A and B are shown apart, each in its own frame.
Chain A
Amino acid sequence: MMSEVRSAAVLPRPLVVAKARVEPVADTDTAWVRLVYRYLAWSTAWLVFGTLVGEYLGIKFVRPDLDHVAWLSFGRLRPVHTNTVFWGWSSLAMLGMALYVVPKTSRRSLYSFPLAYLSLALINVSVLVGDLLLMNGITNGAQEYREYIWPVQAVFATGVILIAYNLIRTIATRDVEEIYISNWYIMGGLLWTIALLVIAYIPWYQQNGISETVIQGFYMHMGVGMWFTPIVLGLTYYSLPRLLNKPIYSYSLGVLAFWTQMVFYSMIGAHHFIFAPIPWWLQTVAIIFSVGMVVTLAAGTGNFLLTMRGSGRMIARSYSLPFILAGVLSYFLFSFQGTFEALRPLQALWHFTNYTVAHSHLTMYGFVAFLIWGTVYGLVPRMTGHEPPALGVGIHFWFALIGLLLYSIALMIGGTMQGDNWIAGNPFIHSVTDMLPYWLWRAVGGSLMFVSHLVFAWNVWAMRPRAAVVATAAAGE
């Protein structure tokens, strides 16, 4: 025992592997850096709050009598979790990074800073007010991701429209001839989502249970795949080549993936209502185009992986690139999983089960959140001149990844058992009681994920812009 301690003292083994450091020169436009950082800080606050709620909901599956407070009940808090991580965390984080990437690739400064701050305020207000209303039971109903009533979502939409205007004006006066591929995706995401929000909140064609369902299938699908998907892919088209210091493998593959994303993805919303009494042809179209998405996935993922080819050592030495690698692989694997789920025989087994919950976390977390984190760790130290602690980033990465895997594998196994129970014709309660061990593992995985977010918040704090640093960086130059 003693000798072990002594030898450890002689040969100290570092707790974390040494990671490559970023170049010491920060971006000099401090107003711009502060704007981007404000978006990041708010999004991080929403991440911590939203996943705290999610963690609490996960525990409620195991301890349903944990509290008997109306505004903490499962039915009211579930939309608080989903809407907060959608509109508060993921949206603000990726928009903040877009406010950096678009001017950078357009080689000019952002069109308007006050407009960008106004957008931030509007989105924050909408999430805050929307959450409070949901906890008070004021909701559109279980229209997933559009539970906020229209006056609230109108405030959110105004924020998005102002950002779109801000970025269009930036791109329109760019100092390069070509529109960089990142900006195709970022602007695509913004414009499609503006159209989507308006379409989803116009009431005239949603006046009975079935017409509303048709729009809901369309909306809940596009709300993810025409908003988060294109914008985080757009960010990756900037951050990956920049971090690897080499160009993207193929510009044309990026363009192919862009147009197929728009045409194929738009058609597949109805695959959330397979076997529902909505038109059968609509379900079939959705399934066919779900399979077609393999083209988009292969083009996008192939492009990123071929860009990374030969840079294995660089990825291993970086603390940001592993997040991007995990995000890209998740994008391929779990979108592909979505295609499989859309096929009728598998849908019969998995629809209505917890398998679906695993899928939504694998995509929104494994794909979207990991790409956002990779971009944040890759770009923010290069803006502020402050790096996060390597140990903190390591804990964040492994806790988030292992937590996600525990969470999802438990729910995929449990969800399949739920479906099997129903097919076997067992009494319904069996499909509930059989889930208990899997719900317990889900709560364990969720706890790891939540802890990783606290560490991420600490890392964000460590990367904050501060006046002294700008002076140091300037002196360094």
Chain B
Amino acid sequence: MTFDVGRNHWLLFGVSFFGFIGLAFIVGIGPAIWVQDHTRPLPGAVAPTADETAGLHVFVSEGCVYCHTQQVRPLEMDAVWGRPSAPGDYAFVQALDIWRPYAPAILGSERTGPDLSNVGTRQGSDVWQYLHLYNPRSVVDGSVMPAFPWLFDVKPAAAPGDTVVPVPASYAPAHGVVVPNARGRVLVAYLLSRKQVPMEGYGGAPGAGSSGEAGAAAAPATSGAN
């Protein structure tokens, strides 16, 4: 039995393995447990509806997070997206199902497209969201976002209760009308729910409050993501 780690393989491997687990408790598991126990929904925050939760599943499944953050940093350059994000903003982001028993990652690591923390306030029109998802270039010149036609059905004629998406002729299918399917509808419900809860003395969401309601009723915008 030697205590020279260069000769005693059990000592070398044991120190490496358990040493790493110890470090993982300091900077991984420990802080994760602490923030989980100390994160509460913000005052005034409303729990997501069933449709919005289903919409989050679509959002995750289509990989929207790879290009869209939901994370406003406490920096001047980020003020355009809203107030700085708080831990409580993510309290309602919870495990998806037994196959995905973790909260999905929605903070994001790339901002190829705009931050979505307040997209429900900024673009509160469901028709605009449908147009944009059907083909982003129909409403935003120069966008490189993928089109998501599989979130829509093309029908010969609209059935009662269908939302017909007024796709411009150059992007529309040759025949029939474009109608969002169930996945498209819940995704837009999720997007429209993305509104920061105002916090006293912590900066306000741009255009928060009345403009969100006004936007929802407005006709589809024709250009500009912001």
Contact string against A for B residues 105-124, beta-carbon threshold 8 Å, 1 for contact and 0 otherwise = 11111111110000000000
Which chain A residue shows the least CB distance to B91?
A208
Inter-subunit contact A64/B66 (CB<8 Å): no
A6 to B141 alpha-carbon distance, docked (Å)? 57
- Binding site secondary structure of chain A: helix
Query: Which chain A residues border B85 with CB–CB below 8 Å?
Result: 276-277
Q: Could you say which of B32, B91, B94 has the most chain A C-beta atoms within 10 Å of its C-beta? A: B32
Q: Which of B21, B39, B136 contacts A210 (CB 8 A)?
A: B39
User: In the assembled complex, which residues on chain B have CB atoms less than 8 Å from the CB atom of A60?
Assistant: 144, 146
| B172 CB–A CB distance under 8 Å | no
Q: What residues of chain B lie closer than 8 Å to A64, measured between beta carbons?
A: 136-137, 143-147
Q: B residues within 8 A CB of A351?
A: 73
Q: Which residue of B lies closest to A188 (CB)?
A: B16
CB neighbours of B226 from chain A (8 A):
427-429
Determine the distance from Cα of A177 to Cα of B87 in the docked complex, in whole angstroms. Answer: 53
Residues of B within 8 A of A61 (CB): 144
Q: Is residue B103 contacting chain A, with contact meaning CB distance below 8 A?
A: yes
Bound-state Cα–Cα, A276 to B147, Å = 30
Separation of A139 and B21 alpha carbons in the complex (Å): 27
- Whether A184 is near chain B, meaning CB under 8 Å from some CB there, is yes
A429 touches B62 (CB 8 A): no
Chain B residues whose CB sits within 8 angstroms of the CB of A171 once the complex forms:
9
Chain B interface, >50% SS class? loop
Determine which of B27, B31, B144, B145 lies in contact with A266 in the assembled complex, contact meaning CB atoms within 8 Å.
Answer: B27
Proximity bits, B136-171, A CB within 8 Å = 1, else 0 = 110011111111111000000000000000000000
Q: A61 vs B13: C-alpha distance in the bound complex, in angstroms?
A: 45
Question: Given that A211-B32, A275-B74, A433-B142 are contacting pairs, would A141 and B105 also be in contact in the complex, using a CB cutoff of 8 Å?
Answer: yes
The answer to whether the Cβ of A199 comes within 8 Å of any Cβ in the partner chain is yes
* A residues lining the B interface (CB < 8 Å): 60-62, 64-65, 68, 70, 73-76, 78-79, 137-144, 149-151, 168, 171-172, 177-179, 184, 187-188, 191-192, 194-196, 199, 203, 205-216, 218-219, 226, 255, 262-263, 266-267, 269-270, 272-273, 275-279, 282, 285-286, 348, 351-354, 356-357, 418, 422-423, 425, 427-429, 432-433, 439
- How far does the alpha carbon of A277 sit from the alpha carbon of B196 in the complex, in Å? 14
Residues of B within 8 Å of A276, CB to CB, are 71, 73, 85, 107
Residues of A within 8 A of B1 (CB): none
User: Is there contact, CB below 8 Å, between B149 and A142?
Assistant: no
Question: B95 contacts the other chain (Cβ, under 8 Å)?
Answer: yes
Would B105 and A427 count as touching, CB distance under 8 A? no
Cα of A205 to Cα of B36 in the assembled complex, Å: 7
Q: Determine whether the beta carbon of A267 is less than 8 Å from that of B7.
A: no
B224 at the interface (CB under 8 A from A): yes
Smallest CB gap from A424: residue in B: B77
The verdict on B221 contacting chain A, using a C-beta distance below 8 Å, is: no
B63→A76 contact, CB < 8 A: yes
Given that A150-B99, A263-B23 are known contacts, is A209 also in contact with B93, CB under 8 Å in the complex? yes
List, in ascending order, chain A residues with CB within 8 A of B6's CB: 178-179, 255
Query: How distant is the Cα of A64 from the Cα of B148 in the complex, in angstroms?
Result: 11
Q: Nearest chain-A residue to B65 (Cβ)? A: A142
Q: How far is the CA of A149 from the CA of B209 in the complex (A)?
A: 39
Interface size class of B (residues with CB under 8 A): 35 or more
When the two chains form their complex, are residues A210 and B90 in contact, meaning their CB atoms are under 8 A apart?
yes
CB-defined contacts of B92 to chain A, threshold 8 Å: 208-209
Task: Establish whether residues B20 and A211, one from each chain, have CB atoms under 8 Å apart when the complex forms.
Answer: no
Could you list 14 A-B pairs, sorted by A, with CB under 8 Å? A75-B63, A143-B105, A178-B7, A179-B7, A192-B20, A195-B21, A203-B101, A205-B33, A206-B102, A209-B107, A266-B24, A272-B109, A277-B86, A348-B75
Within 8 A of A (CB), among B9-51: 9-10, 12-13, 16-17, 19-21, 23-24, 26-29, 31-36, 39
Let me know if A140 and B102 touch, CB within 8 A: yes
- A201: shortest Cβ distance to chain B, in Å? 8
CA distance A219 to B102 in the complex (A): 14
Is B216's CB within 8 Å of the partner chain A? no
- Decide: A76 and B20 in contact? CB cutoff 8 A: no
Give CA–CA (A215, B29) in the complex, Å.
7
- Do A214 and B23 touch across chains, with their CB atoms under 8 A apart? no
Interface residues of B, Cβ cutoff 8 Å to A: 6-7, 9-10, 12-13, 16-17, 19-21, 23-24, 26-29, 31-36, 39, 60-67, 69, 71, 73-78, 80, 84-87, 89-96, 99-114, 135-137, 140-150, 224-226
Q: A179-B6, A179-B12, A352-B69 are in contact. Are A73 and B35 (CB under 8 A)?
A: no
The 5 closest A-B pairs by CB, nearest first: A75-B63, A209-B90, A141-B104, A209-B93, A142-B65
CA distance A357 to B110 in the complex (A): 9
- The answer for the CA separation of A140 and B19 in the assembled complex, in Å, is 29
Enumerate chain B residues within 8 angstroms of A144, measured Cβ to Cβ: 105, 109
| Given the contacts A209-B107, A215-B28, A278-B31, A73 and B19 also touching, CB distance less than 8 Å | no
Q: How far is the CA of A34 from the CA of B100 in the complex (A)?
A: 38
Smallest CB separation, A265 vs chain B (Å): 9
Residues of A within 8 A of B100 (CB): 139-141, 149
Q: How far is the CA of A168 from the CA of B14 in the complex (A)?
A: 12
CA distance A139 to B102 in the complex (A): 11
Docked complex Cα distance between A354 and B66 (Å): 12
Beyond A78-B66, A141-B60, 19 additional pairs, beta carbon < 8 A: A64-B146, A68-B147, A73-B146, A143-B102, A168-B13, A187-B16, A191-B20, A206-B102, A207-B94, A208-B92, A213-B90, A215-B28, A219-B28, A262-B19, A269-B27, A272-B109, A418-B111, A423-B77, A425-B77
- Shortest distance from the beta carbon of A454 to any chain B beta carbon, whole Å: 27
Cβ–Cβ contact A429 & B140, under 8 A: yes
Given contacts A262-B19, A267-B27, A433-B142, contact A139 B77 (CB under 8 A): no
Once A64-B143, A282-B31 are accepted as A-B contacts, the answer to whether A199 and B99 lie under 8 Å apart by CB is no
Query: Bound state CA distance, A138 and B96, in angstroms?
Result: 11
B61–chain A nearest beta-carbon distance, Å: 4
Complex Cα gap A282–B31 (Å): 8
Selected contact of A142 from candidates B87, B93, B104, B148, CB within 8 Å: B104
Q: List, in ascending order, chain B residues with CB within 8 A of A149's CB.
A: 99-100
> How far, in angstroms, from A213 to B34 measured CA to CA in the complex?
13
A142 pairs with B31, CB closer than 8 A? no
User: Given the complex of chains A and B, what is the CA–CA distance between A206 and B16 in angstroms?
Assistant: 25
Residues from chain B with a CB closer than 8 A to the CB of A272 are 109
